[in-house]
Amino acid sequence: MSDKKVKQNCDSMSTGLLSVDEAKKRILETVAPVSGQEKLSIRAALNRVLADDVLSTINVPPYDNSAMDGYAVSSEDLPDNNERQLQVVGESFAGSPYGGQLCSGQAVRIMTGAMIPAGADTVIMQEQVRREDDNIFIGPGHKKNANVRYIGEDMRIGQTILTRGKLITPAELGILASLGIPEVKVMRKLRVAFFSTGDELRSVGEPLDEGQIYDSNRYTLYGMLQRLHVDIVDMGVIADRRDDVREAFKTAADIADAVITSGGVSVGEADYVKETLEQLGKVTFWRVAMKPGKPMAIGSIDKAAFFGVPGNPVSAMAVFYQFVQPALKKMMGMQTSFTTILKVPCMTALKKAPGRLEYQRGILDYDENGELVVKTTGVQGSHILTSMSQANCFIILPAENDGVIAGDVVEVQPFTDLV
């Protein structure tokens, strides 16, 4: 054998770690959009995912109209040098058009949004004319077709305006209303069940005994899932008992499209969590080259997708945002969305050892010169949940990075993009 090392899949090597990019790619490959659609009135469809393309059956705007308050004229009447006098023969208001046909030497008083009368092709702003009784005087320098908004300029008959997989936000609601569409077909809501595992966990409202902590992951998970507008089933805390764990996994897989658990995925966890998962479904335990959040479990139990996020509170959130959320969005039928990554100078030094990609918590702000800069939130332990609240972005340090000195440019991912 040569001294070349035998290549193996990272995740099959006991010491190897899967890269973040590879893990992201694989997790997306394990899930597919759910089937099932429903018809909703457009307001009820806010925050839902379009199941069909939306085609325009009308032109928007439906007619040429004025972009200004002023006078509709024919460009033939625009003077080249001297002032020109035109007779005002009528009015066109929004919702009440001028019925006649404009002849040479005539103008129509027109308001924003009102129909351009037949025979006119140009609107002169009212500030640019002198009016005397029923006449206006316009000077040179006006352009043909000025201040006219054209039929179908925004949406044309027969045009595909929205494509399936589009998330319905306020802009889409307005578009649907502009097209006169009262109802749309959307993907059915994804149903997500989740629970925490750990004998040390208590729920809010219960007293804490020695060695116990409050379960916070069910609350961060609840919050992150709510913002995705999925149906949520909170199954509480499941104790580290074989039968309880088995029952919980079975129930969750029965009622939900996706099951998320926190805790119980690190080395040294009670073996039966893994054992149970292996018996009930196809689950792979991954060690991903990232910090926080190295261990995670991915797979399926019956028809449900399964995501096991780490127990440490910051790891649970980071793994959810980076891996689980994109997978849930794919299951919801959502088109892949744009992720903002900014390159900005980091004003504080950051400690990092090469080997794993790190999602450090940062605060993005403007410095005294108005330039965007980032600084650390401070201590970066995966148990420091307050860092997630102080932060407004992840500072993404690539695996090979071996620390940052103040002034270095780093990549950041704003939290505003994570919803």
What does the binding site for Mg ion look like in residue numbers (CB under 5 A)?
A: 198, 263, 311
Q: With 0-12 CB in 10 A as exposed, 13-18 as middle and 19+ as buried, what is 170?
A: exposed
Whether 138 contacts 80, CB under 8 Å: no
Q: Closest Cα to residue 221, out of 265, 260, 273?
A: 260
Q: How far is the CB of 45 from ligand AMP (least distance, A)?
A: 34
Residue of the chain from 97, 313, 326, 333 that contacts ligand AMP (CB under 6 A): 313
Residues counted in the chain: 419
Residue of the chain from 212, 251, 266, 300 that contacts ligand AMP (CB under 6 A): 266
Number of residues that bind ligand AMP (CB under 6 A): 18
**Partner from Mg ion, ligand AMP, none contacting 196, C-beta within 5 to 8 A by type:** ligand AMP
**Partner from Mg ion, ligand AMP, none contacting 216, C-beta within 5 to 8 A by type:** ligand AMP
Integer CA distances (angstroms), 178 to 54, 360, 395, in order: 12, 44, 41
Measured distance CA(273)–CA(245) in Å, rounded: 7
**Partner from ligand AMP, Mg ion, none contacting 217, C-beta within 5 to 8 A by type:** ligand AMP
Which residue number, 71 or 321, has a Cβ lying nearer to ligand AMP? 321
Residue of the chain from 70, 117, 165, 263 that contacts ligand AMP (CB under 6 A): 263
**Partner from Mg ion, ligand AMP, none contacting 220, C-beta within 5 to 8 A by type:** none
User: Which residues have CB under 8 Å from 368's CB, separation 6+?
Assistant: none
Which residue number, 283 or 350, has a Cβ lying nearer to Mg ion? 283
Q: Which residue has the tokens 């925490």?
A: 196
**Partner from Mg ion, ligand AMP, none contacting 312, C-beta within 5 to 8 A by type:** ligand AMP
Whether 175 contacts 161, CB under 8 Å: yes
Residue 364, phi-psi category: left (phi > 0), alpha (psi -120 to 50), beta (remainder) = beta
Q: Closest Cα to residue 218, out of 243, 247, 195?
A: 195
Q: Closest CB to ligand AMP belongs to which residue?
A: 311
Which residue number, 22 or 200, has a Cβ lying nearer to ligand AMP? 200
Interaction of residue 300 with ligand AMP, rule CB under 6 A: no
Measured distance CA(305)–CA(319) in Å, rounded: 16
Q: How far is the CB of 195 from ligand AMP (least distance, A)?
A: 9
**Binders of ligand AMP among 269-298, rule CB under 6 A?**
269
User: Which residues have CB under 8 Å from 181's CB, separation 6+?
Assistant: 42, 54
Q: How far is the CB of 321 from Mg ion (least distance, A)?
A: 21
Interaction of residue 262 with ligand AMP, rule CB under 6 A: yes
Stretch that binds ligand AMP, among 55-63, 261-269, 284-292, 367-375 (CB under 6 A): 261-269
Site string for ligand AMP, 176-215 (x = CB under 6 A): --------------------x-x-xx-----------x-x
**Partner from ligand AMP, Mg ion, none contacting 215, C-beta within 5 to 8 A by type:** ligand AMP
| First-to-final CA distance of the chain | 51
Residue of the chain from 70, 97, 264, 299 that contacts ligand AMP (CB under 6 A): 264
Whether 94 contacts 113, CB under 8 Å: yes
Record the tokens describing residue 72, joined without a space: 């509709």
Helix (H) or strand (E) holding 375: strand 372-376
Stretch that binds ligand AMP, among 49-57, 264-272, 341-349, 357-365 (CB under 6 A): 264-272
Measured distance CA(252)–CA(278) in Å, rounded: 16
Which residue number, 37 or 216, has a Cβ lying nearer to ligand AMP? 216
Stretch that binds ligand AMP, among 33-41, 121-129, 242-250, 304-312 (CB under 6 A): 304-312
| Strand intervals (E) in 117-190 | 122-125, 129-132, 135-138, 148-149, 160-162, 183-187
Record the tokens describing residue 122, joined without a space: 């140009």
Residue of the chain from 117, 310, 326, 362 that contacts ligand AMP (CB under 6 A): 310
User: Which residues have CB under 8 Å from 336's CB, separation 6+?
Assistant: 326, 329, 330
Record the tokens describing residue 344, joined without a space: 């900005």
Which residues sit at the interface with ligand AMP, rule CB under 6 A? 196, 198, 200-201, 213, 215-217, 262-266, 269, 310-313
